[in-house]
Structure 1
Amino acid sequence: QRKRRRLGELKKTLREKIVLYNAIPGCEEKIDTEAACSLCDVILPWEAQGDG
């Protein structure tokens, strides 16, 4: 459960960073926030293994 809470915190931080990045004037490439945050489930394999 601690890992799940940590993952939630990481997703929130990632979302905040993406919003800041997307707000940069003159930056043509924007990041899809939802797509990036859902990748966390794939990128962080320990979450998929559960609390063990």
Structure 2
Amino acid sequence: MSQDKKKIFVYDEATKKEMEVDVSRIVAFQARTIKRKSLLVAFMDDGNQYIML
């Protein structure tokens, strides 16, 4: 039985681009405030951090 992987869009600050990542790779979340904006940062299993869109 094949299962569709759930994906979400995130923003990569290093490349300044939006990208799609597999939800199963996210290991943690953290709320941050940058320039008076509340953001949610996703921590990935490979050590990368992305801003949730």
User: TM-score, normalising length from structure 1?
Assistant: 0.18
| Greater fraction of residues in helix | 1
Q: Which has the larger radius of gyration?
A: 1
User: TM-score, normalising length from structure 2?
Assistant: 0.17
Which structure would you say has the larger RCO, counting Cα contacts within 8 Å and 6 or more residues apart? 1
| Greater fraction of residues in strand | 2
